[in-house]
Structure 1
């Protein structure tokens, strides 16, 4: 037996192989673009060498990593059951089991059609026993994952007659799924179904059934990983004979298909970052085929939902024709231009309307105001005083918490009189309620268990504001243990170690949420904060628009301003602040560490988008063209080229004394290619001065979301957390 290799004593060095490119008269030299070829044994060898160096450089944290993993595990109820959700004649739920990575998808028949209270499982149900009477295991995910280093379940959809299941699986991590079918236990009195042997490959996510159950619809991607085609597959036929329903030829647009909650309409949506176009198929009038509801108009974003309002079938249109924070309007079923949409909830610049769900008796509007999420319920019926036609009551389902995230959960049934509501915060575990629209009663169904004793009141949450570019006030959400605060004061008795998280892109809001693993940080005396920087959607559409394209620098200014505000307010010090962000948040990390390295004691960049200029110059790469409206097109504009070059992390690595950096990536990531952090780390090693404490960790069998399986994910997070705690001085 060969002796184990000795651990490396120095980081690997990527040889410089300069490649020159010229655009708009500007010449760039890239010494490390050769790392792009992941089929090259030399590239794989380099990544493995980086992994070996990272392991050696963090060997002193091995014990802490094991401790953190066990802490996460000890807090988790490993054998558990989600709250069942009702769809047609069954209650659907997921199960997890101690010692198993993935769990199972299950269902039981509805016992009483008039009872909308979810059934309660048997207490302390053993893994090999049914949790509820009549339990059917639709998918044993651990069995499906057997033999694969990576496993991800995409969509799983039950046929309209409840007898067949279509499910999608990815065993590589590149988010190209394979769809198969299996027979389910038929409803009482129904004949068993025979599952077709059909296999659909290279599917984006899952499938959508037609109302009759004889066909499924699915989406595929082009070579640049853009969802560009919608197909119809008739059960029992070859995929090669599938019907092309829609081909989206504009490279800025992606497409997909879904079915309304009422089951009456199939809808194909095409959209860019700013423009949408929807095609609608009415199952009651199938001879009309898919019809464009409103022709695409540059800058007009809209979405559709079917509702029955005042006894008439209508389409609800959530759109930005009258203002950037969107209006909810009503239109007929036939194609209708924006000028004819009838306002239901008029545009309000103080309230960002984000989504609407329609049910037989009510509408649920997802909105945000003042940086917080809200659920708004419009009860349908005889028109109430001062309300739009067909709306009997308009009110918020609200909760009295200064910092919170509220949203609706799984609500698949058109006729349900209740709304499944989720509430959580930085200190409050996810709490699932049923809200009865008829009585306004809120019933707590489940609060995420935290084993070993946990009291949310032992922690305190704060909202701070930082002043950034142009005097903009940027919100910060913060949590720490209550006993660390100076009694009677707003802040701690002394500065705390602090982890500061940020994202800031695509109008995605980093709303406060609970994390079991984060307790290992908080209980060691650290604070955790989220900088809600521009580019996200926390403060409405303006917040997003003011952090993209030519205003992208605002995202970086905001994050640095939040870090400085926390120092000025006595919450922390620069050397005790670690910054963390992933994907587009990794771009944020790379930019701020170039612009203000002195402000941070460490930086974690997960699957980081740190080479945006190279990626946005290559229209063949995944997502590039579709993201011109987010970042700009540097190939066609010298102004855009210069703008991105001014902040691109890779291009701006300089002879600076950078804080320690941990970059984490995945070999099969199709969204942010592994080569970006690999090149970034190589250049940091070449150019940084001082300690040059930079680590690259590449997961060799995963994609953008990281490893699969909960135990693997816990080990993965324990690795990052151990490094963070070490930088915060809490590793002992």
Structure 2
């Protein structure tokens, strides 16, 4: 085995590229990597992979042990809790030793013979990446449409299968989002097409089975918007959704009249967000209208949908974020968030009952599950916490009785949730704001500053990382690690304002919040800078890049997964997937105010000559969200500037995209490699 000190990292060649905007010139020496067709680029990525493998070769046996340990906790022959839709029970199952799901259904009774819809293990044979999405059953239950992606680039081809004969129709629809919706005639399919270059979902087409020419129904010409199409839960309407970060617009059509014209629900108004659900002659509208920052619920008659007809049903509340709703024949179910905690509220339409499900922990997640049946008094919801495995629960909204249908199995005879402590603690940010963290660790740990700790966060798009249970995480906890989720601004943990305070010209709050949490954890002796590790992916990888430029001395190691780190070049290139739709999140750098602000934190543009922590950076060659060249260029530039001898690895999955490997267990190998990297830095190798 080679001596790591003798293994030399790949040094990327430098070809200066001058990038000018607003009379400001940036020099990008690694711009040449922006070409996945270039053999030299592929050779460089392969050289980085070989270097990472060589430097981590001494951990290979440990990685295999970690993989087997993680895999052994998972019930391999598992199946979902059945749900009933249109006369059939639908079940997803996994079989021992197989990577992909098997989709089945049973007619009317769970005792009926199972009918195979898809065995993804057979379909994935010979493919290095496989993803099936968008299963949509025709109203007469005789056909199913679905989307396939074989590269990881989230560019799907839609197919139609005849469920009576098992044959795949000749209909083949490329460059789609993967999802499609049936009209009630069982012959007409509506789908969303993507721009082949930018991958923006921008067109809705109508496809008649067996016909080769599809009709363009709608095109979204504003390149900051995307589109989608779906069917209302009442099955009465087909709905086109136009969406951007700040604005929504809907178009509706009777599902009984697929050749009719879609009607605008209410014209878009910049800054007006809303979504719609249909019930009993009305549309219910979740919206921020009238400065309802945390959203409110309104309704309008289905024949008069324009905004002047909307009336309040659930008013806006300053202390409660209204996140989503589930509509049933007799009940309205609201998913809310107060003081960071999920709540499920159940309200009868006749107003005779209005109550919340009782939860007592501060580190839990609850959420409504698959509730496709409209005429039922049963609500299906899920629950888990940092120490409690996930449960699927059926709750009778009338009798208030509940039945646990399934508890996540943890196949480890030593696992006992009572062996772990979970808590919520608060740090104080630079501006005095209190920042919550969810913490879990094994009981018996002394808080003396010597514990290894992994701090995780995301902090963008209003996406909230709720406290959740993970069997994989046990491999760290049982080896003495403390695990922390920092609920920093940029998510919506403490309401919509929490998001607003971490975007656009407030984006730096996201980074300073994370650093404040790190400082608090060190001060309270949960850990020390010698044992503190941080992890984030995608926009959370941007977070990792920002904190190491700002406060690298706080961390011993960083895992940056598919990190969005070349903010300036990406946001100035409108041909890159997702760019224009992101202006409301980061700002439009064609405006000098936003250009200067973004440049001041963009990780790639702010690398300096100093010591950086040990780092493992991952990428996906076919990534459609963060192009592989961002992490590749970032690592090359870090190598050029850093003044330390710490580890710096780039690992690119040459067969996958943003989500990594597609197989159920293949992805565990990536987890095992990341954990081995952390544990090795702590001198733990078994």
TM > 0.5 fold call: yes
CA gap of 1:8–1:220, structure 2 versus 1, over 3 A, is farther
CA distance in 1, matches of 2:166, 2:542: 50
Residue number among 694, 706, 716 corresponding to 2:670 in the alignment: 716
Find 2:334's aligned residue among 352, 365, 371: 365
Tell me the distance in 1 between the aligned counterparts of 2:656 and 2:255: 40
How far has the Cα of 1:166 moved from its partner? 1.2
Write the distance in 1 (CA, Å) between the matches of 2:54 and 2:425. 39
Which of 460, 468, 482 lines up with 2:443 in the alignment?
A: 482
Return the offset for 1:184. 2.0
Distance 2:425 2:596 in 1: 34
Structure 1 residues 140-219: aligned runs within 5 Å: 140-185=119-164, 196-219=169-192
The correspondence for 2:314, drawn from 341, 345, 351, is 345
Q: Within the alignment, does 1:609 sit opposite 2:577 as a pair?
A: no
What aligned pairs does 1:540-555 form with structure 2 within 5 A after superposition? Answer: 540-555=495-510
Q: Distance in 2 between matches of 1:73 and 1:286?
A: 47
Please say if 1:224 is aligned against 2:198.
yes
Structure 2 CA distance, aligned partners of 1:74 and 1:657? 39
Q: Does 1:525 align with 2:480?
A: yes
Contact 2:538 2:563 in 1 (8 A): yes
Provide, for residues 511-547 of structure 1, a one-character-per-residue CA deviation record: whole Å limited to 9, x for no partner: 0111111000001111100111100111111000000
Q: Please give the alpha-carbon distance, in whole angstroms, between the structure 1 residues aligned to 2:308 and 2:388.
A: 44
The correspondence for 1:677, drawn from 627, 631, 647, is 631
Correspondence for 2:376? 416
| Counterpart mapping for 1:172-571 below 5 A | 172-185=151-164, 196-222=169-195, 223-238=197-212, 241-283=213-255, 289-308=261-280, 313-322=281-290, 323-381=292-350, 391-453=351-413, 454-484=415-445, 492=447, 495-571=450-526
| Runs of 5+ unmatched residues, structure 1 | 112-118, 120-131, 186-191, 382-390, 486-491
Alpha-carbon deviation of 1:25? 1.1
Q: 3-state DSSP class of the match of 2:346? A: strand
Change (3 A) 1:575 1:160: same
Q: Distance in 2 between matches of 1:59 and 1:394?
A: 59
Q: Which deviations, in whole Å up to 9, do the C-alpha atoms of 1:279-325 show, x marking residues without a partner?
A: 011236768631111110111010000012xxxx1100100012111
Q: Deviations over 1:75-121 (max 9, x none)?
A: 1110111111111111111111111110301111222xxxxxxx5xx
CA distance in 2: counterparts of 1:337 and 1:326, whole angstroms: 18
The alignment covers a number of residue pairs equal to: 681
1:148-169 Cα offsets, whole Å, 9 max, x none, are 0000111111111111111211
- State the distance in 1 between where 2:352 and 2:118 align: 42
Provide the residue aligned with 2:18 in structure 1: 20
Are positions 1:46 and 2:44 aligned together? Answer: yes
CA RMSD of aligned residues (A): 1.7
Q: Are the counterparts in 2 of residues 426 and 515 from structure 1 also a CA contact under 8 Å?
A: yes
Q: 1:706 aligns with which of 654, 660, 665?
A: 660
Q: Secondary structure at the match of 2:530?
A: helix
User: What is the correspondence of 1:102-117 to structure 2 with a 5 Å cutoff?
Assistant: 102-111=100-109
Deviation at 1:336, TM superposition (A): 3.2
1:238-272: CA deviations, max 9, x gaps? 1xx11111100001111001111110011101011
Q: 1:172-209 CA deviation, whole Å, 9 max, x = no partner? A: 11111112222225xxxxxx797632111111122111
Q: Hey, what's the Cα distance between the residues in 1 that align with 2:530 and 2:167? A: 64
How many Å separate the matches in 1 of 2:653 and 2:178? 22
- Counterpart Cα distance in 2 of 1:160 and 1:133: 20
Secondary structure of the 2:282 match is: strand
TM superposition shift of 1:7? 12
Q: Distance in 2 between matches of 1:194 and 1:664?
A: 40
CA distance in 2, matches of 1:25, 1:577: 41
CA distance in 1, matches of 2:166, 2:504: 53
Compute the TM-score of the two structures, normalised by the length of structure 1.
0.91
Deviation at 1:484, TM superposition (A): 1.8
Contact kept, 8 Å, 2:146 with 2:178, in 1: the verdict is no
Q: Identify the match of residue 602 of structure 2 among 648, 651, 654.
A: 648
- The partner residue of 1:623 within 578, 589, 608 is 578
